Amino acid sequence: AQKVTQAQTEISVVEKEDVTLDCVYETRDTTYYLFWYKQPPSGELVFLIRRNSFDEQNEISGRYSWNFQKSTSSFNFTITASQVVDSAVYFCALSEARGGATNKLIFGTGTLLAVQP
């Protein structure tokens, strides 16, 4: 069965600290996609990144970076030099590429990140 685990319920850091959000996933499929979304208090889910299971290259986008390791089924997200505006709930999600019938996402329970000034 598919499952996404985000063991960190809440993280609190002081501005400018680096912070890593952990994500561990389970799937039997060899082809799948992993996502990170940000949910600010407004409720909208903001797409951050998508990786497919064949691309293990780490990615950096500004202050954000992602570390995908198939060997440990992890897809961790690091924010460098955190800012107050980074405060939000962050979700990791998994989608299997099965015949394109749906783009259903399986979400983790989320990590609430609070960045203190």
Partner 1 sequence: DAGVTQSPTHLIKTRGQQVTLRCSPISGHKSVSWYQQVLGQGPQFIFQYYEKEERGRGNFPDRFSARQFPNYSSELNVNALLLGDSALYLCASSLRTGVNSPLHFGNGTRLTVT
Which of 1, 14, 28, 43 binds partner 1 (CB under 8 A)? It is 43
Would you list the DSSP string of the chain? Answer: --EEE---SEEEEETT--EEE--EEE-S-SSEEEEEEEE-TT-PPEEEEEEETT----EEETTEEEEEEGGGTEEEEEESS--GGG-EEEEEEEEE-STTS----EE---EEEEEE-
Asked if 104 is part of the footprint of partner 1 (rule: CB under 8 A), the reply reads: yes
User: Which CB, 40 or 63, lies closer to partner 1?
Assistant: 40
- Which of 21-29, 42-50, 67-75, 80-88 is the region at the interface with partner 1 (rule: CB under 8 A)? 42-50
Which of 7, 60, 97, 114 binds partner 1 (CB under 8 A)? It is 97
User: Which CB, 42 or 117, lies closer to partner 1?
Assistant: 42
Question: Closest distance between partner 1 and the C-beta of residue 17, in Å?
Answer: 25
